[in-house]
Chain A
Amino acid sequence: GAVVSQHPSRVICKSGTSVKIECRSLDFQATTMFWYRQFPKQSLMLMATSNEGSKATYEQGVEKDKFLINHASLTLSTLTVTSAHPEDSSFYICSARVDSFGSPLHFGNGTRLTVT
């Protein structure tokens, strides 16, 4: 149980275009999902907390207008990288958890974004 599906796993786009990444909890409902960014050989950096039915909470230094997050249902959150630039190239990982104190994060497989 507790499977999180993330799609696409890999995407290449041109500078200036937008890319949407989907994150789905397949067998549980999650009012909260988390979006991380991971640079090579580094830890996970929390970008934002996605809240179902309300606005996402962004971490300091993360541009809200560049990284649009929509949590439309209890099983789906999307991250849209708008007007992508080469410096946005990275590995993005979503995660979700059952809404119970102490329940672990379950992660998607990640999305490798390359902006040319």
Chain B
Amino acid sequence: AQTVTQSQPEMSVQEAETVTLSCTYDTSENNYYLFWYKQPPSRQMILVIRQEAYKQQNATENRFSVNFQKAAKSFSLKISDSQLGDTAMYFCALYNFNKFYFGSGTKLNVKP
């Protein structure tokens, strides 16, 4: 079974600070992809970052980076220099077998 777990329902961070969102997953496959999506109040789902399981190097997109620990099946998202516009729901997702499996989400509040 493919499962994705986000254990932090809600988090807060001060503007300009750094925050890390946790995600663990379970799959028996070796080849898969992991994603982080952001859903702001507009409810538009936006791709934040993508990681291929075969790549050991952690993906980075500007202020967003991941800590991918394949053996531990952990895929955390670090947001540096948090901005007010980062306030959103963040979903971790696992892709394989032509399906995407989403976690329950973490609501991030960035405070001024």
- A residues in contact (CB < 8 Å) with B: 32, 34, 38, 41-44, 46, 49, 91, 93, 95, 101-102, 104-107, 109-110
Contacts and interface: CB of A to CB of B under 8 A. Distances in A.
B44 interface: yes
A102 B45 contact: no
Contact of A43 (B33, B44, B91): B91
Interface of B, secondary structure class, is strand
Given A104-B47, A110-B44, A46 B91 contact: no
A102 B52 contact: yes
A30 to B, nearest CB: 12
A41 B43 CA distance: 11
B102 A110 contact: no
13 contacts: A38-B43, A43-B102, A43-B104, A49-B98, A91-B43, A95-B45, A102-B52, A102-B95, A104-B47, A107-B44, A107-B45, A109-B42, A109-B43
A44 B102 contact: yes
Q: What band does the interface of chain B fall in when counting residues whose beta carbon is under 8 Å from A?
A: 20 to 34
5 nearest CB pairs, A to B: A107-B45, A102-B33, A43-B104, A43-B102, A104-B47
Most chain A CB within 10 A, of B37, B42, B93, B100, is at B100
B25 interface: no
Contact of B35 (A32, A101, A104, A110): A104
Contact of B99 (A38, A43, A46): A46
A47 B49 CA distance: 24
Given A42-B104, A107-B46, 5 more contacts: A44-B102, A91-B43, A104-B35, A104-B50, A109-B44
Contact of A44 (B46, B50, B91): B91
Most chain B CB within 10 A, of A38, A41, A44, is at A44
